[in-house]
Structure 1
Amino acid sequence: MPASPSTARAINDRLALRLLQQEGPLTAGQLKQLTGLSRPTVADLVERLTVSGLIEVAGESGEQRRGPNAKLYGIVADRAHLAALDVRTEGVAVLVSDLVGRVLAEASVPIGDDTGTGPAVEQAVSLVERAAKEAGADGLHTVAIGAPGLIDPVSGELRVSTGLPEWHRRLMAALHEKFPEARIGVENETNLAALAEQRDGAARDRDTFVLLWLGVGIGAAVVLDGTLRRGVSGGAGEVGFLPVPGTSGLPSATDCDGGFHSLAGAEAVAALAAEHGVTAAPAGPEPHAAALVREAVRRSATVPAAGEFLDVLADRVALGAAAVVAVLDPGCVVLAGEVGLAGGDALADRVRARLARMSPLAAEVRPGALGGGAVLRGALLTARDRAQDELFGPPEG
């Protein structure tokens, strides 16, 4: 059955808006060429989208002749302002962008372990307010939050966890109160990192892969056939709890000590570095473990102990990676997070060699390209997609 005229218009509008979002300002002639639509249809949709306030004339194409096709049309970027948050146990980082994802302001604030719930929430909300003001935003259309822990698949909220500070769960409600018109959602930080690495990073050519997050904590994100898999309870990828050899005990339902986290989390990596005499000065806000790994990579060719440290670390990482590969057969494992970025090809190559010996299933191992910034980037992409879906209409098909 052919689409109704209104449905056809909606599909055409959506196609044109997506092209403008991906390619930047285009002329009507370029839209005609890229969409395959007729000249009158393109003229109608340009007028319709202009009247609706979604696109505007953004300049001229530089063509010699003048006329309608010489005008460049672009998305009205300030139609909506978006915020992306990366919420960690030790602080919050925020970006505020326009509708096309151009970053207008960014800021961060540390929040100490001894900070009470109320003051911590107030600091985080104030940070978002200041960033929005700096960006010139009267309000926020969409807010996407990346946080550690399990996300309830029904309510979309952080589940109660003894391992996370209470202010994490209170933050979402406080942001709703401060920005009542905003659409606010929270997603597991590792899942957002996988989205960012797939769209802009190391997994751009992969529809199926597993991202292994190596940072303060340990986690994994599973992308199968282009779809992020969260699991029945939202906990797919909680590999920090994975029982592995080499630990002093077993993890429990409320504590991942004794699990894979005890071998490859930042604290364990720092202790392993100390055993091998690897030292490094702290490098800003990133985990000290990342600085240690980066220094070991730099010195591994000339200092045997540094290479030995990387070898043992690769042994540990390969244990968790092998379990994931055996169950999912993803064909590709991305070592992400600050430690994954610091280890680069030196760590990835070591893990790949060990996996080849441990598993009959072929798996490429790549270092992540975005490091700790992947969570914030993924949150921004999520906020942009959600805002555009609402303003432009849902994707066709």
Structure 2
Amino acid sequence: MAASPSTARAINDRHALRLLQDEGPLTAAQLKTLTGLSRPTVADLVERLRGSGLVHVVGEAGAERRGPNAKLYGIVADRAHLAALDVRTHSVSVTVADLLGATLAEASAPVGEDGGTGPAVEKAVTLLERTAKEAGADRLHTLTVGAPGLVDPAGGELRDSAKLPAWHRRLVAVLQERLPARVLVENETNLAAVAELRAGAARDREDFVLLWLGQGVGAAVVLGGRLRRGASGGAGEIGFLPVPGTSGLPSATGCDGGFHELACLAAVEALALDHGLDPASALASGHGPFLDALARRLALGAAAVASVLDPGCVVLAGDTGHRGGAALAARVEAELALLSPLRTEVRATALGDTAVLRGALLVSRDAAQDELFP
């Protein structure tokens, strides 16, 4: 069944907008070539998009004759302002950007519950509002919050957890009350995986697993180029994975005894001390015995992932993955080859500490464009 004229126009408009987003400003002639549409159809869609406030003239193509086809058209970047908030246990970081994802302002601040949940929430919200004002964003269109913990895939809410700071859960509700914006929330590990998929270490892969190695331990699963969250949003809760070498078994109420016990930041620091190293610099020291011992631990979790999912690639992220870099990734890959018959490449994060914010900003941009683009 042929598409209706209105449906066809919407498809053509969205195609043109995606080209302008990916390729930058284009002339009508270039849009005609890239879309395969007729000259009159391109002229109509350009005027339609200009009338909607999504596209404007940004200049002229120097090599072409002057005239309608010489004008360069681009997306109106300030048509919507976006924000990303990375919520950690003791801090928050925020980035405000335009519709094309260009950063306009960013800031970070320590946040704790010493003064109570209310003041902690207020400090985080104030930081966001101040940064948005600095960026010239009178009104945010979409904000994505990245936080540790499970996110309900049905309602998109941060699920209650005994080990999650109370201000984390309250923060999302306050943001939704105070901001005239769409507020989304996503697990920090999932956001890091989105960023690595589209702009980082896994941009040439459709299948991979990201291991988040920080104060907490988690994983994000990407198969067929899509993030997989699981039935309850818990796909990748690898900290609960039973592994050898721990004090016991994990339980429904705690991951002590699971892979978390071997791979969390506190465990890595303790391992460094066992090797006579300063925990703050051990990962960058190049100390072979320490890195080998850590790689053997990390390979246990990676082997479980490889055996079940066969992703072909594992990305080491979080503080340990970032600071360990290529040297640690190579050792984990070698250890993994001894534990699994499945060939699995191990890579270090390419985005480091910025991965969560980058992923959150990508999610905000996608959500805003889905709503604004016809």
Q: TM-score range by the shorter chain?
A: over 0.9
Q: Which residue among 354, 368, 372 is the counterpart of 1:373?
A: 354
Say whether the 8 Å CA contact 1:163–1:254 is kept in structure 2: no
User: Aligned equivalents of 1:115 and 1:262: distance in 2?
Assistant: 30
Structure 1 residue 94 corresponds to structure 2 residue 75: no
Letter in 2 for 1:192: L
Say whether the 8 Å CA contact 1:161–1:254 is kept in structure 2: no
Say whether the 8 Å CA contact 1:193–1:377 is kept in structure 2: yes
Residues 210-230 of structure 1: CA distance to partner in whole angstroms, max 9, x if unpaired? 011112211100011111110
Deviation at 1:112, TM superposition (A): 2.5
User: Aligned equivalents of 1:108 and 1:264: distance in 2?
Assistant: 27
User: Aligned equivalents of 2:3 and 2:12: distance in 1?
Assistant: 11
Say whether the 8 Å CA contact 2:201–2:315 is kept in structure 1: yes
Structure 1 residue 314 corresponds to structure 2 residue 295: yes
- Per the alignment, residue 230 of structure 1 pairs with 229
> Structure 1 unaligned runs (5+)?
281-287, 298-305
Structure 1 residue 386 corresponds to structure 2 residue 358: no
- Per the alignment, residue 183 of structure 1 pairs with 182
User: Aligned equivalents of 2:301 and 2:129: distance in 1?
Assistant: 40
Say whether the 8 Å CA contact 2:113–2:120 is kept in structure 1: no
Deviation at 1:41, TM superposition (A): 0.7
After TM superposition, the score normalised by the length of structure 1 is 0.92
User: Aligned equivalents of 1:27 and 1:83: distance in 2?
Assistant: 30
Say whether the 8 Å CA contact 2:60–2:70 is kept in structure 1: yes
Letter in 2 for 1:189: E
- Per the alignment, residue 300 of structure 1 pairs with none
Letter in 1 for 2:197: Q
- Per the alignment, residue 210 of structure 2 pairs with 211
Deviation at 1:153, TM superposition (A): 1.5
User: Aligned equivalents of 1:64 and 1:174: distance in 2?
Assistant: 53
User: Aligned equivalents of 1:74 and 1:134: distance in 2?
Assistant: 24
Say whether the 8 Å CA contact 1:85–1:144 is kept in structure 2: yes
> What percent identity do the matched residue pairs reach?
72
Deviation at 1:257, TM superposition (A): 1.6
Count of residues paired in the alignment: 374
User: Aligned equivalents of 1:121 and 1:276: distance in 2?
Assistant: 40
User: Aligned equivalents of 1:212 and 1:113: distance in 2?
Assistant: 28
Residues 18-47 of structure 1: CA distance to partner in whole angstroms, max 9, x if unpaired? 011111111111111111111111100000
**SS across alignment from 1:193:** helix
**SS across alignment from 1:26:** coil
- Per the alignment, residue 73 of structure 2 pairs with 73
Letter in 1 for 2:108: S
Q: Which residue among 320, 325, 345 is the counterpart of 1:364?
A: 345
1:126-137 aligned at under 5 Å gives the runs 126-137=126-137
Structure 1 residue 4 corresponds to structure 2 residue 4: yes
Residues 168-201 of structure 1: CA distance to partner in whole angstroms, max 9, x if unpaired? 111111111211x311110010000000000000
Say whether the 8 Å CA contact 2:310–2:342 is kept in structure 1: yes
Deviation at 1:380, TM superposition (A): 0.2
Letter in 2 for 1:389: D
User: Aligned equivalents of 1:314 and 1:114: distance in 2?
Assistant: 36
Structure 1 residue 152 corresponds to structure 2 residue 133: no
Query: Alignment RMSD, CA only?
Result: 1.1
- Per the alignment, residue 24 of structure 2 pairs with 24
Deviation at 1:273, TM superposition (A): 0.6
1:186-197 aligned at under 5 Å gives the runs 186-197=185-196
- Per the alignment, residue 285 of structure 1 pairs with none
- Per the alignment, residue 263 of structure 2 pairs with 264
Letter in 1 for 2:185: V
Letter in 1 for 2:245: G
- Per the alignment, residue 172 of structure 2 pairs with 172
User: Aligned equivalents of 1:154 and 1:5: distance in 2?
Assistant: 34
- Per the alignment, residue 14 of structure 1 pairs with 14
Deviation at 1:64, TM superposition (A): 4.4
User: Aligned equivalents of 1:149 and 1:234: distance in 2?
Assistant: 10
Q: Which residue among 260, 284, 306 is the counterpart of 1:325?
A: 306
- Per the alignment, residue 242 of structure 1 pairs with 241
- Per the alignment, residue 282 of structure 2 pairs with 292
Letter in 1 for 2:194: L
Deviation at 1:113, TM superposition (A): 4.6
**SS across alignment from 1:130:** helix
**SS across alignment from 1:207:** coil
- Per the alignment, residue 351 of structure 1 pairs with 332
**SS across alignment from 1:292:** coil
**SS across alignment from 1:50:** helix
Say whether the 8 Å CA contact 2:209–2:315 is kept in structure 1: yes
User: Aligned equivalents of 2:15 and 2:28: distance in 1?
Assistant: 13
User: Aligned equivalents of 1:76 and 1:64: distance in 2?
Assistant: 23
Say whether the 8 Å CA contact 1:222–1:236 is kept in structure 2: yes
After TM superposition, the score normalised by the length of structure 2 is 0.98
Letter in 2 for 1:350: R
Residues 53-97 of structure 1: CA distance to partner in whole angstroms, max 9, x if unpaired? 000001111124101111111111111101101011111100000
Letter in 2 for 1:66: R
User: Aligned equivalents of 1:378 and 1:44: distance in 2?
Assistant: 35
